[in-house]
Amino acid sequence: MGTVKAGITTSVDGYVAGPDDGPGRGLGEGGERLHHWVFGGPWTYDSMPEGNTRADDDGWMARGMADLGAVVAGRATYEASGHWDDTNPWGVPFFIVTHRPQEQPEGDAFRFVSGVVDAVEAAKEAAGDKDVHVMGGADVIRQALAAGLVDELSIILAPVVLGGGKRLFEGFDQDLELEHLGVTQTRLATFVDYRVVRS
Amino acid sequence: MGTVKAGITTSVDGYVAGPDDGPGRGLGEGGERLHHWVFGGPWTYDSMPEGNTRADDDGWMARGMADLGAVVAGRATYEASGHWDDTNPWGVPFFIVTHRPQEQPEGDAFRFVSGVVDAVEAAKEAAGDKDVHVMGGADVIRQALAAGLVDELSIILAPVVLGGGKRLFEGFDQDLELEHLGVTQTRLATFVDYRVVRS
Query: Who's near B57: CB < 8 A, 6+ residues apart?
Result: B37, B38, B40, B186, B188, B189
**Is residue A163 less than 8 Å (CB to CB) from chain B?**
yes
Residue A152's beta-bridge partner residues? A5, A195
**Predicted local confidence at residue A99, as pLDDT:** 97
> Helix A116-127 crosses helix A138-146 at what angle (to 10 degrees)?
80
* Mean predicted confidence (pLDDT) in B156-168: 97
pLDDT at A187: 92
B157 to chain A: closest CA residue: A192
In residues, how long is chain A?
199
Sorted by sequence, the CB contacts under 8 Å of residue B121 that are 6+ apart come out as none
Q: Which of A153-157, B45-49, B109-113 has the lowest mean pLDDT?
A: B45-49
Write down the pLDDT at residue B56. Answer: 79
Using the Cβ of A169 and the Cβ atoms of chain B, whether some distance falls under 8 Å is answered with yes
Q: Are the beta carbons of B174 and B145 closer than 8 angstroms?
A: yes
B198 close contact with A: CB closer than 8 A = no
The CB density around residue B43, as the number of other CB atoms within 10 Å, is 18
Stretch B81-85: mean pLDDT, rounded? 89
- Inform me whether the C-beta atom of residue B88 falls under 8 Å from chain A C-beta atoms: no
Instruction: Decide: B11 and B34 in contact? Cβ < 8 Å.
Output: yes
A16 touching B (Cβ < 8 Å): no
User: pLDDT tens digits, residue range B26-51?
Assistant: 788 889 999 999 888 887 766 666 67
Where in chain B are the domains? 4-196
Q: Provide, as residue numbers in chain B, all residues whose Cβ is less than 8 Å from the Cβ of A160.
A: 175-178
Percent of chain A exceeding pLDDT 90 equals 73
Residue A12, pLDDT above cutoff 80: yes
Assigned CATH for B4-196: 3.40.430.10
Q: How far apart are CA A159 and CA A161, in angstroms?
A: 7
For position B49, what pLDDT does the model report?
67
Q: Minimal Cα–Cα distance from A110 to chain B, Å?
A: 31
Residues on chain A touching B182 (C-beta within 8 angstroms) = 185
- pLDDT confidence of residue B47: 66
Reported as a single tens digit per residue, the pLDDT across A108-152 is 999 999 999 999 999 999 999 999 999 999 999 999 999 999 999
Question: Which DSSP category does A28 fall into?
Answer: -
Q: Which of B57, B179, B180 to mutate to test the interface with A (most CBs of A within 10 A)?
A: B180
- Contact yes or no for B134/B5 (Cβ under 8 A): yes
The helix/strand/coil state of A25 is coil
Q: How confident is the model at residue A47 (pLDDT cuts 50, 70, 90)?
A: low
Contact call for A190 and B187, based on CB within 8 A: no
Residue of A145 and B21 predicted with greater confidence: A145
The answer on pLDDT for B102 being more than 70 is yes
A1 in contact with chain B, both atoms CB, cutoff 8 A: no
Among A49-63, A74-88, B154-168, the range with the most confident prediction by mean pLDDT is B154-168
Contact of A70 with A94, CB cutoff 8 Å: yes
Predicted confidence at residue B39, as pLDDT, reads 83
The minimal CB distance from A160 to the residues B33, B155, B177 is found for: B177
Contact A12 B174 (CB under 8 A): no
Q: Which residues of A59-93 are buried (b: 16+ CB within 10 A; e: fewer)?
A: ebbeebeeebbbbbbbbbbbebeeeeeeebebebb
Q: Does B146 touch chain A (CB under 8 A)?
A: no
Answer whether B50 touches A (CB < 8 Å).
no
Q: Does residue B61 carry a pLDDT above 70?
A: yes
ipTM passes above 0.85 = yes
Measured between CB atoms, does B42 come within 8 Å of chain A?
Answer: no
Judged on CB neighbours under 10 Å (0-12, 13-18, 19+), A96 is: buried
**What is the third-level CATH fold of A4-12+66-196?**
Dihydrofolate Reductase, subunit A (3.40.430)
Chain B residue with Cα closest to A165: B173
pLDDT of A196 higher than 80: yes
Nearest residue of chain B to residue A174 (CA atoms):
B163
Name the residue of chain A whose CA is nearest to B160's CA.
A177
Which residue would you say has higher pLDDT here, B80 or B140?
B140
- The whole-chain average pLDDT of chain B stands at 92
Q: Given an 8 Å threshold on Cβ–Cβ distance, is B12 in contact with A194? A: yes
pTM of the model: 0.93
Chain B nearest-CA distance from A82, in A, is 27
Question: Which among B14, B145, B159 has the least Cβ separation from residue A180?
Answer: B159
> Which residue has better confidence, B166 or A24?
B166
3-state secondary structure of B9: strand
- Asked if the Cβ–Cβ distance from A161 to B174 is below 8 Å, we say yes
Between the CA of residue A79 and those of A25, A74, A122, B87, what are the distances in Å?
11, 9, 21, 58
